[in-house]
Amino acid sequence: MLSEPVRADSARQQLPLWQLLQATAQLVQAVRRGASATPLLAELQSDLRPGVQALAYQVWRQLGRAEALRALLVSRQPPPQIDALLCTALALSWNETQAPYDPHTLVNQAVEAAKKSPAMKGQSGFINACLRRFLRERDAMVANTDVQPVARWNHPSWWIERLQQDYPSQWQPMLAANNRPAPMTLRVNLRQGTVQEYQQRLEQAGLISVRNGDYGLTLVQACPVERLPGFADGAVSVQDAAAQLAAPLLLQDSGLGLGSRILDACAAPGGKTAHLLELSDAQVIALDIDPQRCARIGQNLERLGLQAKVLAADASSPDAWWDGQKFDAILLDAPCSASGIVRRHPDVRWLRRPSDLAQLARQQSQLLAALWPLLKTGGRLVYCTCSVFHEEGQARIQAFLANNTEARLLPSPGHLQVVFADSGSAVPDNRLIDHDGFYYALVEKRAA
């Protein structure tokens, strides 16, 4: 997973701004066509990637506003490439206090990007006219769009309506939290030392952190992992505070230890697998459908000095990979809309469609139905998703419990909303202070 990028102006000396804007607009257009930004960013040349990622993240966090402003500027939506560049410039310049560059500079360089693009030949005058008009009439246009929910909250209308339905009194702070960059939170490997000890190591390295949960430390200022003391030797991993709840929830009061068998289904890239192994001596089977992502599980475990059996297979088809021995515990981190991690992947809100939720819900139910028979009587299953939508969380578990009378729901976190808090404040009781949105359910299998 790509971490939050550095500010775009750090690349100012290396590459001209028009080139960054051109590449950013191409990325915005690709997401509009249905492509995920993460692999596209990874494919960019190394000197281009940091600046483009920084600009693109800001554009996606302001795209609703940009599209509303563009609608005031032109009567018909321009062709895709031109519209992507126009909306990119509007998203970056509409709020002068948050603009990564002076708005007039952004306009000049957007025009230059159009001039230097063969596909936009002859359209630089149109881009210039639109953006110059916007600069002249900015206050009135922004005020005009303030009343539009998509412009105000920078999420699709269906997403806003879904959150209003699921969280009638909390949807506004959740949307606002989505538009803030996520923090860099670390999970300390307790096999190598305590959280307090590692916090001291960070301080000695000039890195200030605050406690975030039982195993986590959130950095006040993000940094490259190479700066983290002992990272290469497995002392610590990068993992959101909410994601750190999975392993301890499955293991608590379970008696799982040496000789126990745990299945981590949909395990890539292996953060929860590693946490299970850091906290127990159980045998863990890490399963994922993507062979390349399975390779990442192996790499992460190797860095941490941990071992698991890694299988590339479809969790919903056990006949193809299961050895017939039932598991003492199962962790199912099911594929989902990723609506809880939008602050880390701001393109997701524009990538998802309302129909995706029903399709994902069917897949989640299929995975639960396929894996439940593999669990021993008395065993436990944790179902989790990095989604805040009820359809992918409590609705799935309620349907599962209704169809499986031997399943009993144990005390569980349930839906965790996206939370933003001042990571510079002291938190004496180790509660979570800043985390992504998740859903957790712990289910026990009773005798039939």
Residue type, 360: L
pLDDT at 423: 43
Domain-by-domain residue ranges, the chain? 8-151, 245-445
Cα–Cα dist 337/359, whole Å: 10
Contacts 24+ apart (CB under 8 A), 191-199: 191/278, 191/305, 192/230, 192/233, 192/234, 192/235, 193/235, 198/229, 198/230, 198/235, 198/236
User: Catalytic residue at 336?
Assistant: no
Residue 12 has pLDDT above 90, yes or no: no
Residue 293 has pLDDT above 80, yes or no: yes
Residue 210 has pLDDT above 90, yes or no: yes
Residue 319 has pLDDT above 80, yes or no: yes
φ, ψ for residue 301, nearest 5 deg: -65, -40
Cα–Cα dist 272/269, whole Å: 8
Q: Which of 266, 294, 384, 386 is catalytic?
A: 386
Q: Residue 352: helix, strand or coil by DSSP? A: coil
Give the tens place of pLDDT for each residue, 20-54: 999 999 999 999 999 999 999 999 999 999 999 99
- Options 3.40.228.10, 3.40.50.150, 3.40.50.11540, 1.10.287.4070; CATH for 245-445 is 3.40.50.150
Residue 2 has pLDDT above 60, yes or no: no
pLDDT at 419: 72
Residue 384 has pLDDT above 70, yes or no: yes
Residue 14 has pLDDT above 80, yes or no: no
Q: Average pLDDT for residues 11-24, to the nearest whole number?
A: 84
Please, which residues have CB within 8 angstroms of residue 362's CB and are 6 or more apart in sequence? none
pLDDT at 425: 45
Answer whether 160's CB lies under 8 Å from 175's CB.
yes
CA-nearest of 354, 307, 314, 355 to 334 is 314
pLDDT at 1: 32
**Mean pLDDT over the full length of the chain:** 93
The predicted model scores a pTM of: 0.92
Give the tens place of pLDDT for each residue, 139-182: 999 999 999 999 999 999 999 999 999 999 999 999 999 999 99
Cα–Cα dist 232/230, whole Å: 6
Assigned CATH for 8-151: 1.10.940.10
Going by their DSSP bridges, the two strands 216-219 and 185-188 should be labelled as antiparallel
